[in-house]
Amino acid sequence: MEKLNVYAAKLVPKNENFTQGHRACQGCAEVLALRHIGKALGKNVIIASATGCMEVVSSPFPFTSWDVPWIHVAFENAAAVASGAESGLKALMRKGKISPRKIFVLALAGDGGTNDIGLQALSGALERGHDFLYICTDNEAYMNTGIQRSSATPWGASTTTSPAGKVIPGQATWKKNMAAIAAAHDIPYVATACPSYPFDLMEKVKRGARIPGPAYIHVLAVCPTGWRSPPDLSIRLGRLAVETGIFPLYEVVDGKYKITVDVPELRPVEDYFRLQGRFRHLTKDMIDQIQRRVRKEYDRLRKRVEMTMED
């Protein structure tokens, strides 16, 4: 479905719950992901957003891009606010104070608001088993505050707090595997997605929202401003992240792994790095090192798929 297909695209819901007029940068794939998420979830959702680019660009008072109920409280607590909304709805429906019906509760946060400062609130909410969907839109740094590194920044990437210096050449740690951390909570649904694969993304969002209990989706979102990449290449970069195996697309349903967009033969990671200024300083050695790690990780993922396959 993800190859060129003009007609399937016409089947995408027409309603826009995340509407025009937002102030994201040109070519922002994070905001594109919100549009897809909005389409997939429909009208019947309550969203709790964390502080970050998406909150700032979507709600400049007195304007809003949200045509669904939306709340922002702080940076590190989207999962807790969503827990509260879910618990509130549950109690009010049980006590007959509002009509019983299915209202999806979605928590939205960036990689900073998820992997780092929001990890505790997220872990708590996943563990408590609230019926909600958490989506992390990962642009691999704190973009809103000016491209500082996060634990989701990939090894070697240059950011304003992990600059490519003479002694330390950029981010010195490997990207934290947030989807695996979510999966370790034994929740019913975990997935990775990318707006370059919109059908895959929307299907996963629908699935994650419908499954009772907590669901987690980690969305890679190209940020031309922070990645120093041409704004018209955001979709291609997302595809390259998948085709190189750097960001594989998979699902974990009740503990069973499944690759949803398989790449039988991985492209060299260099194809992906070439187009981004944040990796410009990488040496051949460093790229080789990353390539080895990507292969290893991809093989590990394949093994997980085999190991958890139904017999």
Of 56 and 180, the one with the shorter C-beta distance to ligand SF4 is: 56
Q: Is 158 in the site for ligand TPP (CB under 6 A)?
A: no
Q: Is 223 in the site for ligand SF4 (CB under 6 A)?
A: yes
Q: Is 161 in the site for ligand TPP (CB under 6 A)?
A: no
* Residue 116 interface partner, choices Mg ion, ligand SF4, other proteins, none, CB cut-off 5-8 Å depending on type: none
Strands 133-138, 104-110: pairing kind? parallel
**Cα–Cα dist 112/148, whole Å:** 10
Q: Is 200 in the site for ligand TPP (CB under 6 A)?
A: no
Residues in the chain: 311
Q: Which segment (2-10, 25-33, 172-180, 298-306) binds other proteins by CB under 8 A?
A: 2-10
Per-residue mark of binding to ligand SF4, 47-86 (x: CB under 6 A): ------x---x-----------------------------
Q: Which residues of 48-76 are buried (b: 16+ CB within 10 A; e: fewer)?
A: bbbbbbbbbbbbeeeeebbebebebeebb
Q: Which of 155, 207, 186, 203 is nearest to 254 (CA)?
A: 186
Region 11-30 residues binding ligand SF4, contact defined as CB under 6 A: 24-25, 28, 30
What are the residues whose beta carbons fall under 8 Å from the beta carbon of 22, sequence distance 6 or more? 31, 57, 58, 65
Of 140 and 251, the one with the shorter C-beta distance to ligand SF4 is: 140
**Dihedral sign, Cα of residue 69, residue 201, residue 130, residue 213:** positive
Do the beta carbons of residue 52 and residue 141 sit within 8 Å? no
The residue type of 63 is F
Strands 189-193, 250-253: pairing kind? antiparallel
Binding residue (CB under 6 A) for ligand SF4 from 113, 156, 224, 245:
224
What are the residues whose beta carbons fall under 8 Å from the beta carbon of 147, sequence distance 6 or more? 141, 159, 160, 225, 226
Q: Is 56 in the site for other proteins (CB under 8 A)?
A: yes
Which three-class secondary structure state does DSSP give residue 132?
coil
Q: Is 89 in the site for ligand SF4 (CB under 6 A)?
A: no
Per-residue mark of binding to other proteins, 24-53 (x: CB under 8 A): ------------------xxxxx-x-----
Of 15 and 160, the one with the shorter C-beta distance to other proteins is: 15
Region 70-89 residues binding other proteins, contact defined as CB under 8 A: 70-74, 76-77, 79-89
Per-residue mark of binding to other proteins, 241-280 (x: CB under 8 A): ----------------------------------------
Where does this chain bind ligand TPP (CB under 6 A)? 30, 51-54, 75-76, 109-113, 139, 142-145, 150
